[in-house]
Structure 1
């Protein structure tokens, strides 16, 4: 938002520097981005007086002029048809760099010297007018800088406005904040509207079909206007804030918008049929041509302004070509309205038709100030366009503004902010902001927020006002007291608490959390051979690479891998807890959402080369993470793994089950698919159903036992068997013996003798312990011998 420093001073008598104002407003939440000189490019242009002007002897269309520029008289050859003796004109002397980058040099035109250039408005980038040179007012002094002679505004502050501060989209809004910050009086523009008789309410009828879409619509009639260029003060002021002047009528509507924040629109009154203005939604599929001469297809969600026969404007966004003011227009119907913000926002976004008006309407405008803005615009039009204002206003206000009253508890505000301020400070803040304060009950005030502060919706918003005016930068940094209560235990049993538990596990396991878009491309799913059934296609995607909701987490994780590899990170350990989306016609939203856990491993097993041996991640790594989550973190012991044939993108693929219920799968991404993501090593992924795991965890009861008191006795045994012998089968066979003093069986090593391709050695450690006494070697040896005998009889192994 561009704010003219001089314009702002017409509202508040601020005498400080622009930087001081910007710094203070930044602390109030209106961040200063920069301070600029809008006319920096024309600072070297001077005022010249054409002393003599004659025809060039060698060129009929050229004129030879002598131009007084204060300290000298320059010979300048000019090609403009309207140059003449006695004029005051803008002059670029030799060495001046024009706004377009052209540097003025000495030249000869058809044999005669030229020491400068007399400029047009377009050459100075003041307008598109290039019919001739710019003839300046006669009272200007030759040699004076143009920016000084025209009193152009040299200081403009550029602020970043948060979406909730719609009241700050005007100079009035910033003046209110400056008055609040420096305790200054606020002066509104003087209103001296002269009406010429008649009755606007009787000449034009205003109809609103749906009050929820348009709480207020008002209009004035201005007759016998003369369209021409606006006066210099208005044109220059609009240019200073980035708005190109068009004509006096249009410029007034823009001027009021930047001054007071109310967008207005001027219709050609003679093109409004049946003397009627109607606010109603569009018809489905209807066509309407806006002022930019583009035909647009509308829907019932779009709001239109109609006359008695046809639509004449896209409400709050842009006027219609069939009702615009032309050079022949003489009578103006001036509109000032309030529209439902959401409706305007959706229309502007859908049609990709942003405008300064829609930017304000979709954030909300001041309904109470509406009449003042309309009257001030009518006054300016009558002053600069010579029109007469018809008495009265045609208005329809089906939903009058209702003051909003909020409670305010000062003690609670102080506790929340960590301050100790007197109640009088808060009352002064609210009063300066335009609020009405009833503090008859000292413990619970009643504060009525003004119509321009639409962001004050609840009590905590009032707390924010107290804090930001006091200065959020002045609030001391104090750590809050933390009280331990049972809320944490309650939260842990919720879906959110379980997801948080999963994320804490992932971080503790050395994995980095990935946060990917819920959108992927159809090509991403096709590349992984995922079925087209169940896909949720996005109607208006951001791009073709994000045109469908993800049905699996793996495409996003693979794109994360691709990005990391492109940045030189070859050791990738990531996880993601997110939703996948599947089309379901029976669902209320026609889409089912499932929370999943995705894990991806790539590269070396260890992050560093030394002292760790080099080895790439393999199946044992991904299985180890899954087992660690299920057994150690969630305490789900009986996990089962089984090979799955013909998976879409994993080979091998292993299903994961707990207590006989499938909870996910894991495996290696097919090399030909991983190659697209620049993977040069194996990519291992796992995908687990978080909702199923939560259900199993809640059903599973954890049993507690006393810590062992007596020492263990351990025995190691190496089993020699075929390469197809599974370690799990050996462990299961030992546990099936139901030896009471056998506490645990663990696989500790695997050895394949050199040159041996058919057999391998598996070493197990068996831990024996008695809960009530210290075991003797004789007792342990007896049970261990039994293990060896039964193991060799159950399985094809030897020792």
Structure 2
């Protein structure tokens, strides 16, 4: 909220320096973000008269002006064309530094000496844009500083308001705070409204079909107005608070909004069909063009201001292009209403329209300010537009909002603030900001506080205590150190296992990433989940930040692949990332169940880039090895990597499912399908693990047994077998485990060969079995018998041959 010091002083007689005012406001909770003196350093910009204006001899678009400064006549080259002999202008003399750090110097322009610059409103920091130089009013004293004689010296103060203070989104609101801080009286603007003989009821009527979204709607009519520019004083004030002047009628609505804090809207009554205003919700799928020229597709939740046949405004947000005030407008229907903050916020957010009007309505406007703002604006329109205000006002308020009251105990004030405040002090603080305080019957230290409609943020006793604290002065509250007890909680087993899993992945070289739990509803389409998959059933967010974060995620995969894409775009191509976070899946009875999930990816080089490292890329077995390390740490020794049908986002020939001995599915790992990589704009192979971490934690084997180290040596036997190409290593090891001798310590596949010397349709598998006894040194005969028995089982069940 931007205010100006001079405008503020019209409502409260404060003589404190602007710097002190800023400090007091900040200390009272209205933090001043910026402070700017208008006209500072521009004393050398003076009123000057044009004695002669000639075309520039060497430039078609320039003029050469003889400018009278009151003490001298100087030549100035000017590029504007809106001036003539006799005009009073603002002359920036050499040495002047204009806003934007633009220093004026005596210079030659196309061969002609220019001793200064004729300024526009924009160049003096009075407007964001301007056409031509500024022509000053007649009769001003030549040679005097422009800002002094025009009364433009002022201070612009920008206050960073929190969303709970809509009452301060106006000059009156801030003035009320200043009056309370300095012990002054608030002065409201005087409204002098002269009404014509005709009554508004003969021309217009209002119907509210949705009183929950629009509890109050009022209107006045002004006839015979003349559309034109606003007076200079209004233009300056609007521009000083960041608003652009449009015309006298529209400017009045903006002026009153900044002054009283209540938005208004002016309709050209010619375009209000049947002379009716109907407040109702839109039809689903209707289209509506707003004043900014944008067409919006409406929802049934959008509250609209309509006439007898069409919508004319998006309630509380923006008016319609079909009823805007035009240059030939003569009759104005002036609207002042109160709209439900939630309804306005949803509409504003849905259509991406954030206006000065919606900013106030969605934070909570003052329902009692409706008739005041309406009369103030109507009076100004009649004055500035030469119109006549029709008698009466249409004010539809079917169910007046109840008066809010809060009980305040003096003892609670003492206990909360640690201050022995008197009842009179508490009363004075609250009444200074417009609250009504009355002792409850028979209770000396218990008060009933009536909350005015302009303070929707005051709902509880603690809110009133906060008001007392900031008005009395935070600096007067004793400083005490906080006291608290340390509660050293012990992590649960579930938390401990999560930490163990996270640590194992970090040890394996992965880095943790944390993404939002909200994703776009279309995210599952990018990983190709089939119809009927439960992960397509999302939990929607009631008030999403954006469409890209509108539902709770049912899988970590889309978010992690987005992270991969983002890193690759920053040329970080060697990645090992994981995310251990919950997903939100549909449960029984419409409930949602939260389940811990783990997703991890590997892509890029196997080793860091360097002169002594190879250039090999990671593959499926790098990820498989990392997974096996995690499984071993959790005591799961015999998890199968099964070739069952896997996820659609994994390559069908380069992926597998993780299945325990009990047949429980832990998850999937493999190379990401090229189709999925394309959907995420990833151009290099990525290997992905998608694990049900909740199931993994449940499978954790906590009991471990210790086996002493043997004092006796081991014996290894290597055997090369010819088997069919479709025989998997898992089948070989499973048969060996079924027939393994007591002395077998370890079995591994150490070689796989297909090629020259191996018959077509066959492959060679090298098996190494290590034997050891805890009580003695094994003999050759003992090892041979055990080994032959195991190899014979392979030959019998798999038709294997020893090479």
Does the CA-based 8 Å contact 2:649-2:673 persist in structure 1?
no
Does the CA-based 8 Å contact 2:366-2:453 persist in structure 1?
yes
Paired position in structure 2 for 1:454: 456
Paired position in structure 2 for 1:600: 601
Paired position in structure 2 for 1:663: 666
Kindly provide the CA deviation profile for residues 379-432 of structure 1, in whole angstroms up to 9, marking residues without a partner as x: 4334444445445432011232223345668888999x8x74446688776555
What pairs with 1:567-716 in structure 2 (closer than 5 Å)? 567=570, 569=572, 572-577=575-580, 596-602=597-603, 619=620, 622-623=623-624, 625-627=626-628, 632=633, 639-644=639-644, 648-650=649-651, 652-658=654-660, 659-669=662-672, 683-690=686-693, 697=698, 713=710, 716=714
More deviation, 149-158/19-28:
19-28
**Does 1:210 pair with 2:210?**
yes
Paired position in structure 2 for 1:189: 188
Does the CA-based 8 Å contact 2:268-2:333 persist in structure 1?
yes
CA–CA separation in structure 2 for the residues paired with 1:407 and 1:126: 48
More deviation, 296-305/389-398:
296-305
Does the CA-based 8 Å contact 1:342-1:362 persist in structure 2?
yes
Q: CA deviation at 1:18?
A: 5.0
Paired position in structure 2 for 1:771: none
CA–CA separation in structure 2 for the residues paired with 1:223 and 1:278: 21
Q: CA deviation at 1:234?
A: 1.8
Q: CA deviation at 1:676?
A: 10
Paired position in structure 2 for 1:563: 566
Paired position in structure 1 for 2:148: 148
More deviation, 153-162/676-685:
676-685
Normalised to the residue count of structure 1, the TM-score between the two structures is: 0.74
Superposed CA RMSD: 5.9
Kindly provide the CA deviation profile for residues 95-152 of structure 1, in whole angstroms up to 9, marking residues without a partner as x: 768889897876799x99875665666786748775x864433453222232232222
Does the CA-based 8 Å contact 1:520-1:555 persist in structure 2?
no
Q: CA deviation at 1:306?
A: 2.8
Task: Specify whether residues 43 and 269 from structure 1 end up closer, same or farther in structure 2 by C-alpha distance, changes over 3 A only.
Answer: farther
SS at match of 2:325: coil
Task: Specify whether residues 476 and 499 from structure 1 end up closer, same or farther in structure 2 by C-alpha distance, changes over 3 A only.
Answer: farther
SS at match of 1:155: strand
Task: Specify whether residues 377 and 653 from structure 1 end up closer, same or farther in structure 2 by C-alpha distance, changes over 3 A only.
Answer: same
Q: CA deviation at 1:373?
A: 2.3
Q: CA deviation at 1:340?
A: 2.2
CA–CA separation in structure 2 for the residues paired with 1:350 and 1:545: 14
What pairs with 1:320-719 in structure 2 (closer than 5 Å)? 320-405=320-405, 420-422=418-420, 433-436=433-436, 448-457=450-459, 478=482, 480-483=484-487, 511-515=511-515, 519=519, 553-565=556-568, 567=570, 569=572, 572-577=575-580, 596-602=597-603, 619=620, 622-623=623-624, 625-627=626-628, 632=633, 639-644=639-644, 648-650=649-651, 652-658=654-660, 659-669=662-672, 683-690=686-693, 697=698, 713=710, 716=714, 718-719=716-717
Paired position in structure 1 for 2:718: 720
What pairs with 1:734-773 in structure 2 (closer than 5 Å)? 760=766, 762=768
Q: CA deviation at 1:687?
A: 0.3
CA–CA separation in structure 1 for the residues paired with 2:189 and 2:452: 21
SS at match of 1:34: strand
Does the CA-based 8 Å contact 1:746-1:765 persist in structure 2?
yes
Kindly provide the CA deviation profile for residues 552-584 of structure 1, in whole angstroms up to 9, marking residues without a partner as x: 544432342343355565653322245779999
Task: Specify whether residues 121 and 711 from structure 1 end up closer, same or farther in structure 2 by C-alpha distance, changes over 3 A only.
Answer: closer
Q: CA deviation at 1:240?
A: 1.0
Kindly provide the CA deviation profile for residues 731-786 of structure 1, in whole angstroms up to 9, marking residues without a partner as x: 885588797xx9x9677997999x99956565769897xxxxxxx76999999999
Paired position in structure 2 for 1:251: 251
CA–CA separation in structure 1 for the residues paired with 2:320 and 2:213: 19
Does the CA-based 8 Å contact 1:565-1:678 persist in structure 2?
no
Does the CA-based 8 Å contact 1:748-1:765 persist in structure 2?
no
CA–CA separation in structure 1 for the residues paired with 2:30 and 2:769: 70
SS at match of 1:229: coil
Uncovered stretches (5+) of structure 2, i.e. residues with no partner: 722-726, 758-762
Task: Specify whether residues 669 and 318 from structure 1 end up closer, same or farther in structure 2 by C-alpha distance, changes over 3 A only.
Answer: closer
SS at match of 2:368: coil
SS at match of 1:333: strand
More deviation, 730-739/348-357:
730-739
More deviation, 215-224/254-263:
215-224
Q: CA deviation at 1:258?
A: 1.6
Normalised to the residue count of structure 2, the TM-score between the two structures is: 0.74
Kindly provide the CA deviation profile for residues 654-677 of structure 1, in whole angstroms up to 9, marking residues without a partner as x: 201233132310123468987998
Uncovered stretches (5+) of structure 1, i.e. residues with no partner: 769-775
CA–CA separation in structure 2 for the residues paired with 1:35 and 1:115: 32
Task: Specify whether residues 614 and 317 from structure 1 end up closer, same or farther in structure 2 by C-alpha distance, changes over 3 A only.
Answer: closer
SS at match of 1:337: strand
Kindly provide the CA deviation profile for residues 418-454 of structure 1, in whole angstroms up to 9, marking residues without a partner as x: x744466887765555445677679997655442333
More deviation, 275-284/659-668:
275-284
